[in-house]
Structure 1
Amino acid sequence: MASITRLARFGLQLSNVAAKTLRATPTTQCQQWRAFNISSCLLADRRYTKKHEWVSVEGSSATVGISQYAQDALGDIVYAQLPDPGTALQQSDECGALESVKAASELYSPVSGKVTEKNDEVEETPALVNSSCYEKGWLFKLTLTNPAEIEKLMSEEQYQEYLKAAEH
C-alpha cells in the first residue's frame, strides 16, 4: 500500500510540474492547441461541404474524407465502399457509401477530378474513419480537374459556424 501511495504522490508531483511548465512556457496559439486539440491547427487548409466531406489540396492532388462531425453522427462505421482509381467524378457526384451500426450514408465528391487512389485500409478496417478521420481514415485521392471549385467550399471556420447554426 505504501508503494501505491508513493507512486500516486510522484504522479501528482509530475502533473504539477507539467502544469507549471505549460503555464510558464511562451507558446503560439497553435502550439497551445496542439497540446490539447490538434485538429483546429492542422485542419486550417481543409475545405468542407454541407454534406460533411472535407478536401485537402496539394498542387493538383486532393485528398477526401468525412469530418469529425459526420463520423460522430454515423457512429461505429462497419463498411466502406470507395470509388475505384480511374473513376471520373464531377463535384457533388455520389461516389461511395459508409455504413455504420446506426445508419448508411452516401459519399459525395466535394470537387471534380479523376480518382487516383482509394484508401484500401479503410475498406478493410472501416473503423479507421472513426478513430482517425483526418489522417489514417481519409477515403480517396483525386487529381483536380476544376481547382476553382475549392474556393466555393467552406473553410474550417465557416464550417464550424455552419455546424453551430445547424444546431439551432
Structure 2
Amino acid sequence: MNFKFIPSLFTLSNLLLGITSLIFTMENEYIISASMILLAMILDAMDGRVARRLNATSTFGKELDSLADLVSFGVAPAILVYALKLKPFGIVGLIVCVAFALCGAIRLARFNVLNISGHFIGVPITAAGSLVALIVLVGHRVFIPPMVFPVLMIILSYLMVSKIKVPKY
C-alpha cells in the first residue's frame, strides 16, 4: 500500500486547525482560537518528520505546508490579536495585523526558494504565530498591558523577514 499521502493529511489537518481558529475568533472564542493555533504547531512539526520517515518528501508537500502555515501561523494569529487587542488602535492596529501576515508570507516564500538545511533565515512563521497564540493564552490568566501586543507583533514581523540565522532543531 502507498502511504505517501499521510504527510499531507498532517499538513491539511494543520490547515484545518488554522481555519477553525479563524472561525473561533469570529465567534469571540479567543482562548479556543489560540489553542487551535498551538495544536496546528504540533501537526506542523509532525508532517515533515512523517514525510522523511516514509520517504514521501515532495515539492508539492513543501508548497502545501507553506500554504497551511500562512493560514495557521500568519493569518489566524494576526486576526486573533486584531480582534482581541488591536482593534482599539484603529488603523494602526489594522496595519500591524496585516504587516504580520504579509511578513509571514514573505518569510515562507523565501524559505521555499532557498535550499538551506542547517538553519533558517529569519524566525520561522510557525514560531512567531505560536508565540502570539501563547501570549494570548497567558494574557487570559495574567494582566498584559495592551501595548505589548502591537509591539510584539511588530518585532515578530521584523524578525520573520530579517536575515538572522536561526538554528534548526
TM bucket normalised to smaller: under 0.3
Taking structure 1 as the reference length, the TM-score comes to 0.25
Larger RCO (CA under 8 A, 6+ residues apart): 2
Larger Rg: 1
More helix by share: 2
